[in-house]
Amino acid sequence: MAKLDTVTLRVLDPDRQKQFYCDVLGMRDLGAGRIGYGGDEAALVFEQAHEGYQATRSDLYWKIALSVPDIELACAQLTKAGVAVSEPHQFEDVGYLAHFADPEGFSIELIDHAFKGARGSVSSDAALLGGGAHLSLVTLRIADLEAVEPTLLRWGMRKLSVQPLTDYGFTLHFYAFTEEQPPEADLLAVANRMWTYQRPYTVLELQHVAAVETVRVPEEGEGGYVGVSIASDADAGFEDLGRLKIRWAR
């Protein structure tokens, strides 16, 4: 089975980034320059940049998301650590969310495992971020879904959820290397959304912005998104999906 393996970002101070993600967000050193929560989740790698990262709404890269059992706990922990984090809020019927940025300005989203008011009792470790965070989403912006979705499906990714946000001008599409089936066959079903955020592997989220003709990628040496690698226990032999800077690791 394949999986989203490594997200590479180019930054001015890789060591400071690693320290923040490990000391504040609870990730650990996985070796070979990779940090993360381990398991079936994607890891992070920080490469040296010569220019700082400046996010724009037309960037190919949008964010990573950390899903947590208890978003209020996560926000309190981040605030205590000196991180400016937004108040948790229920965003439409998408998720119970909060946002903050890492030391170099990369956006990070917190997503509760449940919608606001729907959590019930949870078993979690209060010593961990939000009771036990996991890197649940890597979000990229695209202008042409038809140019990329057939390749993702041919690679063996399964589509888990579709979330139209017409008033905001985009639709969210979620894909993962998994044999699991979403709770509802209708990918628009709200029930599939919380289920998607609770998966123990990293999911690829595509924000399809129909009004954008092209998306911006960083120049060589410029801070920003470098790419995502996919690992497989078999000789995949698949082509790269250059538009999204997704590569099969060898």
- Give the pLDDT of residue 244: 87
pLDDT range class, residue 120, cuts 50, 70, 90 = confident
- Give the pLDDT of residue 214: 74
Burial call 175-196: b when 16+ CB within 10 Å, e when fewer: bbbbeeebeeeeeeeeebbbbb
Per-residue pLDDT tens for 124-152?
A: 788 999 999 999 999 999 999 998 999 99
CATH of the domain at 104: 3.10.180.10
Average pLDDT over residues 50-75: 95
Task: Go through the chain and tell me how many residues it has.
Answer: 250
How many angstroms separate the CA atoms of 109 and 107, rounded? Answer: 7
Percentage of the chain exceeding pLDDT 70: 97
> Residue 123 above 80 pLDDT?
no
- Give the pLDDT of residue 191: 95
Per-residue pLDDT tens for 197-220?
A: 999 999 999 999 977 767 888 888
Q: How many CB atoms lie within 10 A of CB 209?
A: 18
Can you read off the two tokens belonging to residue 62? Answer: 């949008």
- Give the pLDDT of residue 153: 94
pLDDT range class, residue 233, cuts 50, 70, 90 = confident
Which of the residue ranges 47-61, 80-94, 207-221 has the most confident prediction, judged by mean pLDDT? 80-94
Residue 71's closest CA among 139, 133, 138, 135? Answer: 133
- Give the pLDDT of residue 37: 98
**Number of domains forming the structure of the chain:** 1
Average pLDDT over residues 160-173: 96
Q: How many CB atoms lie within 10 A of CB 31?
A: 8
Give the structural domain span for 115.
Answer: 3-248
How many angstroms separate the CA atoms of 206 and 196, rounded? Answer: 14
- Give the pLDDT of residue 215: 83
